[in-house]
Structure 1
Amino acid sequence: MDLLNTSISYNIDGAGNTTSVIAGIRGELEGRLTITANITIYPTDLDEGTTFDDLSKKQLFALATKKLPALLPTLAYTNYQFFVQNDTPVRLTAYSNLSNDGSYITLNSTLNQSDFTDKPIGSIGYEDVKSAVKTILSQEFPTS
């Protein structure tokens, strides 16, 4: 999955020091997954002796992208919706999000019968959806 940097926002204290940076990320996988995220980078995420002002936009984006796979398994699924054709469920879209420790992620997943090999799509439940999305994410982000 190609990830794009959509924004970089600096949080600056009263003394003019950058205290954290928020990097906006967006990615899409062939209409199956869409990720939008705002990942907060803290001083503890930086190499020792490095400050935010030492880093380029590309370097900050790389740090945020590095944090993303660890956050993906903790997504909470808020809703899923079936799409029906001729009275038969043919696909579903699952909506998930995370608001944790300054990072915000939204993941929309479109799944079809091929994602559920052991049961018909019309009979899947919440845990089945989580498992199918986790499988796709593990292929795209091997550490997630």
Structure 2
Amino acid sequence: MNLLNTSISYNIDGTGNTSSVIAGIRGEVDGRLTVTANITIYPTDLAEGTTFDDLSKKQLFALATKKLPVALPKLSYSNYQFFVQNDTPVRLTAYSDLSDNGSYITLNSTLNQSDFTNKAIESVGYEDVKSAVKTILSQEFPTSSTEA
């Protein structure tokens, strides 16, 4: 997945020091997955002796993209919607989100029959959808945990 940096926001404390940074991230996989995220980077995410002021926009973005695959398996699925053609379900879109520890992630996944090898798309349920999305994410982020 090609990830783009959409924003960098600095949070400044009462003493004028940067207390955290929020990096905006967007990525898409061939119309199958779209991820939009605001990942918060905390001082504990930095190398010892490093401050936010020492880091470039590219370095901050790199830190945020390392945190994204760790957060993705924690997504909750708010709903999924079938798309029907000639009275037959042909695909579905699953909507997932996460608000955890200052990070906000939205993942929209478009799935079709090829994502469900052991059952017809019209009979898939919540666990089937989670499993299919997990499979795609493990392909896009192979080093990440794929715990559902």
Task: Verify same fold: TM over 0.5.
Answer: yes
1:9 counterpart letter in structure 2:
S
Per-residue deviation, 1:14 = 1.1
Distance 1:18 1:96 in 2: 31
Q: What does residue 6 of structure 2 align with? A: 6
Per-residue deviation, 1:43 = 0.2
1:116 counterpart letter in structure 2:
F
Q: What does residue 111 of structure 1 align with? A: 111
Q: What does residue 42 of structure 2 align with? A: 42
SS at match of 1:22: strand
Question: Please, what TM-score do these two structures have when normalized by structure 2?
Answer: 0.97
Per-residue deviation, 1:78 = 0.1
Distance 2:69 2:14 in 1: 33
Distance 2:99 2:66 in 1: 18
Residues 45-86 of structure 1: CA deviation (Å, up to 9, x unaligned): 000000000000000000000000000000000010000001
Distance 1:13 1:31 in 2: 40
Distance 2:117 2:13 in 1: 52
SS at match of 1:50: coil
Q: What does residue 19 of structure 1 align with? A: 19
Distance 2:7 2:79 in 1: 27
Give ranges in structure 2 of 5+ residues lacking alignment.
none
Distance 2:117 2:86 in 1: 21
Q: CA RMSD in A?
A: 0.4
Distance 2:4 2:111 in 1: 23
Provide runs of 4+ in structure 1 moved above 2 Å: none
SS at match of 2:91: strand
Q: What does residue 57 of structure 1 align with? A: 57
Give ranges in structure 1 of 5+ residues lacking alignment.
none
Question: Please, what TM-score do these two structures have when normalized by structure 1?
Answer: 0.99
Q: What does residue 133 of structure 1 align with? A: 133
Distance 1:14 1:128 in 2: 48
SS at match of 2:16: coil
1:5 counterpart letter in structure 2:
N
Q: What does residue 29 of structure 1 align with? A: 29
**What fraction of aligned residue pairs are identical, expressed as a percent?**
86
Distance 2:14 2:116 in 1: 53
Distance 1:99 1:49 in 2: 29
